[in-house]
Amino acid sequence: MMAAETSNGTVAVKFYAELKQTFGVKRAELEVSQTPDVERLLAAVCDTPERRRALFAEPDVLRKEIVVLVNGRNIRFLDGVATGLAAGDEVAVFPPVFGG
Residues present in the chain in total: 100
In the chain, where are the structural domains located? 10-94
pLDDT of residue 75: 97
- Cite the beta strand spans of the chain per DSSP E: 10-15, 27-31, 56-58, 61-62, 67-70, 73-74, 90-94
- Cite the beta strand spans of 23-66 per DSSP E: 27-31, 56-58, 61-62
How confident is the chain (100 residues) per 10-residue block, as mean pLDDT?
A: 58 96 95 94 95 91 94 96 96 82
pLDDT of residue 74: 97
What CATH fold (topology level) applies to the domain 10-94? Answer: Ubiquitin-like (UB roll) (3.10.20)
pLDDT of residue 100: 57
pLDDT of residue 97: 76
